[in-house]
Amino acid sequence: MQYQELRSVLQQHFKRMLTNQRRKIDQSGPLSATDKAIFEGSQSIAEHAVLGKGDLNLVEGDEPTLAAFIDRYKLPIQPGMPQYDWLRAELHKAYRDYCRDTLAYSASLDSYDFSEPGEPTGQPGTTAPLIPLRDAVDHFMREGLRSGLWRERSEALRRSQLAMLLRLVGEDTDLASIHKPEARTVSDRLQRLPKNMNKSPAFRDKSLDELLGMEHGSGMGVSTLNDYLNTYSMLFAWAERQGYVQKNPFSGLALPTAKTSSRGKRKAFSDDQLQLIERTLLTELAGRTPKPSHKWASLILMYTGARAGEVCQLRGSDIQAHDGVTCLSIDEDEEGKRIKTQASKRLVPIHSRLLELGLLEFIRASGTGRLFPDYTYSPNYGLSKNLSTWFNEQLLPKLGLKAPDIVLHSLRHTMNTKLHHADVPASLVKAITGHTDDSMSTGTYFAAGFKPRQLREAIERFSINK
CATH number for the domain that contains residue 198: 1.10.150
Q: Is the pLDDT of residue 102 over 70?
A: yes
Q: What is the pLDDT of residues 133-142, one digit of tens each?
A: 999 999 888 8
Cβ contact 421:349 at 8 Å: no
Answer with the residue of higher pLDDT: 66 or 42. 66
Domain limit, last residue, from 75, 110, 145? 110
Boundary-marking domain end, from 257, 287, 304: 257
Same domain flag for 335 and 435:
yes
* Mean pLDDT calculated for residue range 275-286: 81
| 374 and 418 both lie in a single domain | yes
Query: Binning pLDDT at 50, 70 and 90, where does residue 344 land?
Result: confident
122 in any annotated domain: no
- Number of Cβ within 10 Å of residue 16's Cβ equals 10
Residue 116 lies in a domain: no
CATH assignment at residue 287: 1.10.443.10
Asked whether residue 118 is domain-assigned, the answer is no
Per-residue pLDDT, averaged over 334-348, amounts to: 75
**342 inside domain:** yes
State residue 378's pLDDT score. 76
pLDDT > 90? residue 419 = yes
With pLDDT > 70 as the criterion, what percentage of the chain qualifies? 82
For residue range 32-48, list pLDDT tens digits in order: 887 887 888 788 788 88
The reply to whether 182 and 251 lie within a common domain is: yes
Judgement on whether residues 277 and 247 belong to the same structural domain of the protein: no
Q: With beta carbons less than 8 A apart as the criterion, state whether 250 and 180 touch.
A: no
Question: Which of 155-159, 170-174, 203-207, 333-337 holds the top average pLDDT?
Answer: 170-174
Closest CA to 194 of 210, 178, 177: 210
Of 51 and 70, more confident:
70
- Contact 343/35 with Cβ under 8 angstroms? no
Lowest-pLDDT choice from 115-119, 155-159, 379-383, 401-405: 115-119
144 and 70 inside one domain = no
| Sequence-ordered alpha helix ranges (H) in 60-179 | 63-73, 82-107, 133-147, 152-169
Residue 121 lies in a domain: no
> Per-residue pLDDT averaged across 296-323, rounded?
93
Does one domain contain both 198 and 272?
A: no
DSSP 63: H
Summary mean pLDDT of the chain: 82
Residue 127 in domain: no
For residue 16, give the nearest of 440, 436, 446, 447 by alpha carbon: 440
* Domain co-membership, 104 together with 175: no
d(CA 409, CA 388): 9
Do 250 and 271 fall into the same domain? no
Query: What's the first-to-final CA gap in the chain, in angstroms?
Result: 43
pLDDT tier at 446, thresholds 50, 70, 90:
very low
Residue 123 maps to a domain: no
CA distances from 341 to 127, 209, 378, 380 (A): 36, 41, 20, 17
Q: Give the tens place of pLDDT for each residue, 365-410.
A: 888 789 999 998 876 678 888 999 999 999 999 889 988 889 999 9
- Domain region containing 59: 3-110
Span 188-198, average pLDDT: 78
Q: Is the dihedral of CA 83, 88, 94, 98 positive or negative?
A: positive
Same domain, 162 and 284: no
Backbone angles phi, psi at 96, to 5 degrees: -55, -50
Domain boundary residue, one of 231, 257, 283: 257
Does the pLDDT of residue 123 top 80, yes or no? no
The total number of structural domains that make up the chain: 3
Are residues 329 and 424 part of one domain? yes
> Is the same domain home to 309 and 404?
yes
Q: What is the DSSP string of 277-308?
A: HHHHHH--STTTPPPHHHHHHHHHHHHH---H
pLDDT for res 107: 82
CA-atom Rg of the chain in angstroms: 25
Q: What is the DSSP secondary structure assignment for residue 460, as one 8-state letter? A: T
pLDDT at residue 148 tops 80:
no
Does 195 share its domain with 298?
Answer: no
Report if residue 125 sits inside a domain.
no
pLDDT, residue 457, reads: 94
